[in-house]
Amino acid sequence: MRIGFIGLGGMGKGMAGNLIKAGHEVLVWNRSQEPVQELVGQGAKAASEPADAFDAEVVVSMLADDASTRAVILESGALDNARAGVIHLSMATLSVAFVSELIEHHAKVGVEYISAPVFGRTDVAVAGNLNIVVAGPQAAVSKVQPLLDVMGQTTWPLGEDPLRANIVKIAGNFMLASAIETMGEASALTKSYGVEPADLLNILTNTLFAAPAYKNYGAMIAEQRFEPAAFKLTLGLKDVGLALSAGQAKNVPLPFGSVLRDNLLEAVAQGEGHLDWSALGGRALKRSGQA
Amino acid sequence: MRIGFIGLGGMGKGMAGNLIKAGHEVLVWNRSQEPVQELVGQGAKAASEPADAFDAEVVVSMLADDASTRAVILESGALDNARAGVIHLSMATLSVAFVSELIEHHAKVGVEYISAPVFGRTDVAVAGNLNIVVAGPQAAVSKVQPLLDVMGQTTWPLGEDPLRANIVKIAGNFMLASAIETMGEASALTKSYGVEPADLLNILTNTLFAAPAYKNYGAMIAEQRFEPAAFKLTLGLKDVGLALSAGQAKNVPLPFGSVLRDNLLEAVAQGEGHLDWSALGGRALKRSGQA
Amino acid sequence: MRIGFIGLGGMGKGMAGNLIKAGHEVLVWNRSQEPVQELVGQGAKAASEPADAFDAEVVVSMLADDASTRAVILESGALDNARAGVIHLSMATLSVAFVSELIEHHAKVGVEYISAPVFGRTDVAVAGNLNIVVAGPQAAVSKVQPLLDVMGQTTWPLGEDPLRANIVKIAGNFMLASAIETMGEASALTKSYGVEPADLLNILTNTLFAAPAYKNYGAMIAEQRFEPAAFKLTLGLKDVGLALSAGQAKNVPLPFGSVLRDNLLEAVAQGEGHLDWSALGGRALKRSGQA
Amino acid sequence: MRIGFIGLGGMGKGMAGNLIKAGHEVLVWNRSQEPVQELVGQGAKAASEPADAFDAEVVVSMLADDASTRAVILESGALDNARAGVIHLSMATLSVAFVSELIEHHAKVGVEYISAPVFGRTDVAVAGNLNIVVAGPQAAVSKVQPLLDVMGQTTWPLGEDPLRANIVKIAGNFMLASAIETMGEASALTKSYGVEPADLLNILTNTLFAAPAYKNYGAMIAEQRFEPAAFKLTLGLKDVGLALSAGQAKNVPLPFGSVLRDNLLEAVAQGEGHLDWSALGGRALKRSGQA
């Protein structure tokens, strides 16, 4: 299939690479040129403008946030100049307000819009083992399914309204942040009685909480090792903000979300914005004077 | 081994039963007589007073809380009249303040004190598959190890200070409460966008959160089915209180713990104290007017 | 002085009326025509477009929020067509992000921008007794001072950067919301011991808390009388949101602000958005099952 | 009247001094002897045991907390040996749980129990200008009214159940703590936009919040001057704890109370327990990296 791919950060580069390996013709665009060249080396073609990447059956976008997606997809005119019938497979984590706007805009220009955000970090993307939640028009989803199969280990279909996949991704990230904060508070509590975080988390993440999220972040909290950042704390703050604003739009209070936002803001104010967001799990130790 | 066993609630009855099956001589005591008779039928001997159960090498206690432990072990005079050299294997979830008091009292009368609280509900206790965290004097722990092996699938040793096992148990229950609240908030958020809790939790508890705690409570939250209570919400409130008071004693703020306490109190005020504590995971739906 | 006045809600109508009474020539504009006719009856002239109201030495705007100010001042082209040298006296409660944008836009077209938000409800505005916080270029502020003296009992100067007045207004409203929540929680606490909110608040608002904010809202909470709304709860939610977003932009966590937002959202979800925002002070009674 | 007075801290010494000046015969007892000697110099008689101070028509107690009241009034045997008909005027800030216990104990020995906690710091006590909330048996309250008139500027009667005065005092202190936190957060917010706390608080405490509580603590927060401590932060933590535990007993969640507790604990963990409790109002500046 002829595929446009826009956004070659750590995640996008891995995902696009897998599409190339699977034999697809991939037109790549990225603001900076390094990853473009890297993928050209793997067989991609370079698109000189975002609009050029829309000269394809399916365009995948994997940009950092609302603002960059707005700039590259909308303000560049790429979408407005797209052929009717193209499918836009939007895989980034975006706000529900912005996705609503995107849905409307795509309808106007006759481009199909699918939300398909992913769970998994860079290494998982490279391995093609992402978990993908997808929602959009049935026929369009069926058409891109082979691409999702290449990029992910499992696709979780959520119906026709793209916002549904969008909100599940936001809820999932909120749950991760909660797990991190929970481990941080529990660690501060037991440490004050002489039990090291590593000892606590070794027990819990091998029993009741023997899940990837807890094992992964638990190891970082146990060692209080928050660099290098696989996912920056400032991005975590942004994602918790997505949950809070999505909730606000529907009058859903999220008291844990509010605590998370406050603690993440505090972390940024204390100079920890560049650390991995698991550093949220170190705040409780600091706050209680134990680190 | 000759073992006294005090406290035959759902958990204790299962644990004592396993000790009997393993061939030990077990003297049981309980306030109400029904479970005593049941265990006598399995081969136990009935102790008429708590003090009688101390006529053993090891006494296991599995009472509901601080108050009942105080009444049965201390105020009854059972401990004061115990032979020096007896080992008291205390397996209930108790406050750190009360365990500190117990440690001191045991030292005075020459009885060894071991904290060995457990993770797992009634069915896990009956199956002998508990996870047991244990801390106490090395020699004493070695001596009771065969008993722990009978009652649990894994023993997690935490050193010589009994408070260490105690605080890990308290931290673990705090983490469970956090997981319940987190799933409740996430469910309320996605439901407001048309995604049912069951659909959200099916995805997350099979991927990032594929752990017993999430699967177990996630199923109850997905169905909003909080009866019958395997662990009453009022007990959950008590346990979150144990975390908060343990934190307060060491100046460790637990902001998630505070939210949990407030939400559990609200649930009790709204008449939900008798439900399973997973009903905490239904508050966010109610608060947002969705249930 | 020739004055344009844009925005004739309850507050604006009273303020403009006082300027007319003081002998100024006032050109009024409002989306709906009723208040325009009312003021014309008092001696105002009707402007048919927002741009017409800018044909003046000073233009006062008192619109409901960011969105209406954006529509009427920016998107209508009114500001872009204004004469250089006009002073825009912006008296509404706006977000810091939007005020920053306004400052930039005004600088481009050569119109002076002053922030002068007010404390006081409709009756205070009618009586000309508002407390006005003002910040903007010194010379421009001096020029509008006679107008501020007509509309308010006291002007509190805060320097040259308009954001400074803006943020003080936002902080003041946050403090009001906090006072309401505080009285609500205290009332729920004492009522559970048989002391009516009226009895508690009578004591406290005549002693330690003998201040207008507490007396005013305390009376409404004491009677649990939240209609008619002098200031709607949904507007209170908006204002607490202004504090939270202003804080977020500077990495300032506001834990009380987060609780306020959650409780206001809950109130809206429970159908109380149309009530006076003092209804926030009734939530604690409801949450604890006492109302 | 012959009056026993137990507890001569800063508050008690001032109150007892006023009773002496008013011509009463005052028997004083205190653990340390300095204030006893000081009051003897003013005309008091020294009681050598707490029980001796009960040889009076009315015994006033003004001890630091539950623990010291328990030790001095109950465990010393003073109450048990009191003559039936004596009135105990308990003016300290105590927990509702302990006051319930005291009420029961007094009933057994035939001593009348009145709760009459006070609002005001040491200087107010010395000036005889306290605000006193009082509840207890009607006839007994009437009898001690002349004493309350000497110690306070106003007495606020709350009926016959002593817990009613007790809970109002606890609620009042909670409201003070809330006011301090609110000013702290508001100050951190405006400071991040260049407005000094002193400028913000000058405006607000002279307008909407022109009340003693805000003026008094606002001045300390404006200057971030938290020493010397008129009321130690650790005592503030204790008092917020009294509100939370009173609420817990009746299933009343206090979300602001929970935030206050967490922030006060953090302050203690950061070494600020010895400061005036208005230091709570400095946490937001520190948390946001501005102090």
pLDDT at C285: 98
Q: Most A CBs within 10 Å: which of B103, B189, B209, B240, as the mutation test of the A interface?
A: B189
- Convert the pLDDT of each residue in B191-231 to its tens digit: 999 999 999 999 999 999 999 999 999 999 999 999 999 99
pLDDT at C120: 94
Catalytic choice (B45, B108, B143, B169): B169
Q: Most A CBs within 10 Å: which of C240, C256, C258, as the mutation test of the A interface?
A: C258
pLDDT at B275: 98
User: Cβ(B59)–Cβ(B89) under 8 Å?
Assistant: yes
Alpha-carbon distance of D131 to D148, in angstroms, equals 9
DSSP state string for chain B: -EEEEE--SHHHHHHHHHHHHTT-EEEEE-SSSHHHHHHHHHT-EE-SSHHHHTSSSEEEE--SSHHHHIIIIIITSTTTTSPTT-EEEE-S---HHHHHHHHHHHHHHT-EEEE--EE--HHHHHTT-EEEEEBS-HHHHHHHHHHHHHHEEEEEE--S-HHHHHHHHHHHHHHHHHHHHHHHHHHHHHHTTT--HHHHHHHHTTTTT-SHHHHHHHHHHHHT---S-SSBHHHHHHHHHHHHHHHHHTT---HHHHHHHHHHHHHHHTT-TTSBGGGGGGHHHHHTT--
Examine residue C253 and say whether the peptide bond preceding it is cis (omega within 30 degrees of 0). no
Show residues of chain D in contact with A270, CB under 8 Å: 289
Cβ distance A199 to B158 less than 8 Å, yes or no, reads yes
C167-287, CATH topology level: N-(1-d-carboxylethyl)-l-norvaline Dehydrogenase; domain 2 (1.10.1040)
Cα dihedral C8, C14, C15, C17, rounded to 10, equals 90
Could you say which of A255, A269, A287 has the minimum Cβ distance to residue D288? A269
pLDDT at D114: 98
Tokens representing residue C77 in the block: 């082209």
Q: Which residue of C has its CA nearest to B263?
A: C287
Closest CA to B253 of A262, A276, C240: A262
Could you say which of A248, A263, A269 has the minimum Cβ distance to residue C265? A248
Could you say which of B167, B176, B182 has the minimum Cβ distance to residue A190? B167
ipTM of the complex model: 0.97
Q: What is the mean pLDDT of chain A?
A: 97
Alpha-carbon distance of C187 to C200, in angstroms, equals 7
Could you say which of D241, D261, D268 has the minimum Cβ distance to residue B258? D261
pLDDT band for A67, please (50, 70, 90 cuts): very high
Show residues of chain D in contact with C154, CB under 8 Å: 207
- Convert the pLDDT of each residue in A160-208 to its tens digit: 999 999 999 999 999 999 999 999 999 999 999 999 999 999 999 999 9
Nearest CA distance, C49 vs chain D (angstrom): 35
DSSP letter at C193 equals T
pLDDT at C27: 98
Show residues of chain B in contact with C273, CB under 8 Å: none
User: Cβ(D5)–Cβ(D26) under 8 Å?
Assistant: yes
Mean pLDDT value of segment C162-182: 98
Buried b (16+ CB within 10 A) or exposed e, C58-72: bbbbbbbbbebbbeb
Domain coordinates in residue numbering, chain D: 2-160, 167-287
Tell me whether residue D169 is one of the annotated catalytic residues. yes
Nearest CA distance, B199 vs chain D (angstrom): 31
pLDDT band for A37, please (50, 70, 90 cuts): very high
Cβ distance A212 to B212 less than 8 Å, yes or no, reads no
DSSP letter at A91 equals -
Q: Which chains touch C (3 or more CB pairs under 8 A)?
A: A, B, D
State percent of chain C over pLDDT 70.
100
Nearest CA distance, B78 vs chain D (angstrom): 26
Catalytic choice (D13, D45, D108, D169): D169
Say how far residue C105 (Cα) sits from the centre of its chain: 22
- Convert the pLDDT of each residue in C224-234 to its tens digit: 999 999 999 99
Query: If interface means Cβ-Cβ distance under 8 Å, which residues of chain D face chain A?
Result: 255, 265-266, 269-271, 287-289
Closest CA to A259 of A235, A289, A229, A283: A283
pLDDT at B253: 98
Tokens representing residue B267 in the block: 């649930």
pLDDT band for B18, please (50, 70, 90 cuts): very high
State percent of chain A over pLDDT 70.
100
Could you say which of B265, B269, B289 has the minimum Cβ distance to residue C269? B289
Q: Give the position of tokens 């007509």.
A: C150
Q: Which chains touch B (3 or more CB pairs under 8 A)?
A: A, C, D
pLDDT at C215: 97
Closest CA to D247 of B258, C164, C193, B231: C193
Show residues of chain C in contact with A269, CB under 8 Å: 251-253
Alpha-carbon distance of D172 to D189, in angstroms, equals 26
Q: Most A CBs within 10 Å: which of D254, D259, D266, as the mutation test of the A interface?
A: D266
Q: How far is CA D3 from CA D7, D36, D94, in A?
A: 13, 15, 21
Q: How far is CA C226 from CA A153, B161, C174, C274, C282, in A?
A: 55, 56, 19, 9, 9
Alpha-carbon distance of B47 to B122, in angstroms, equals 23
- Convert the pLDDT of each residue in C82-141 to its tens digit: 998 999 999 999 999 999 999 999 999 999 999 999 999 999 999 999 999 999 999 999
Q: Which residue of D has its CA nearest to B245?
A: D241
Q: Which chains touch D (3 or more CB pairs under 8 A)?
A: A, B, C
Is A2-160 a CATH 3.40.50.720 domain? Answer: yes
pLDDT at B167: 98
Cβ distance D287 to A269 less than 8 Å, yes or no, reads yes
Cβ distance C207 to D131 less than 8 Å, yes or no, reads yes
Could you say which of C253, C263, C269 has the minimum Cβ distance to residue A265? C253
Q: Which residue of C has its CA nearest to A261?
A: C253
Cα dihedral C170, C176, C177, C178, rounded to 10, equals 110
Q: Which residue of A has its CA nearest to B253?
A: A288
| Residues of chain D below pLDDT 50 | none
Could you say which of C261, C268, C269 has the minimum Cβ distance to residue A258? C261
User: Cβ(C232)–Cβ(C275) under 8 Å?
Assistant: yes
Q: Which residue of D has its CA nearest to C192?
A: D250
- Convert the pLDDT of each residue in A260-280 to its tens digit: 999 999 999 999 999 999 999
Mean pLDDT value of segment A206-219: 97
- Convert the pLDDT of each residue in A5-23 to its tens digit: 999 999 999 999 999 999 9
Cβ distance B288 to C271 less than 8 Å, yes or no, reads no
Query: If interface means Cβ-Cβ distance under 8 Å, which residues of chain B face chain C?
Result: 255, 265-266, 269-271, 287-289
pLDDT at B286: 97
Tokens representing residue B290 in the block: 């969705």
Show residues of chain A in contact with D255, CB under 8 Å: 255
Residues of C with a known catalytic role? 169
Nearest CA distance, D268 vs chain B (angstrom): 7
**Total CB pairs under 8 A between chain A and D:** 17
Q: Which residue of A has its CA nearest to D290?
A: A269
Q: What is the mean pLDDT of chain C?
A: 97
pLDDT band for C204, please (50, 70, 90 cuts): very high
Q: What is the mean pLDDT of chain B?
A: 97
Could you say which of A251, A259, A262 has the minimum Cβ distance to residue C268? A251
Show residues of chain D in contact with C200, CB under 8 Å: 168, 171
Rg of chain A in Å (alpha carbons) = 20
Alpha-carbon distance of D245 to B62, in angstroms, equals 27
Alpha-carbon distance of C41 to C35, in angstroms, equals 10
Show residues of chain D in contact with A288, CB under 8 Å: 265-266, 269
Nearest CA distance, A27 vs chain B (angstrom): 31
Alpha-carbon distance of B185 to D198, in angstroms, equals 39
Question: In which element (H, E) is residue D65 found?
Answer: none
pLDDT at C147: 98
Cβ distance D190 to C168 less than 8 Å, yes or no, reads yes
Cβ distance D271 to A288 less than 8 Å, yes or no, reads no
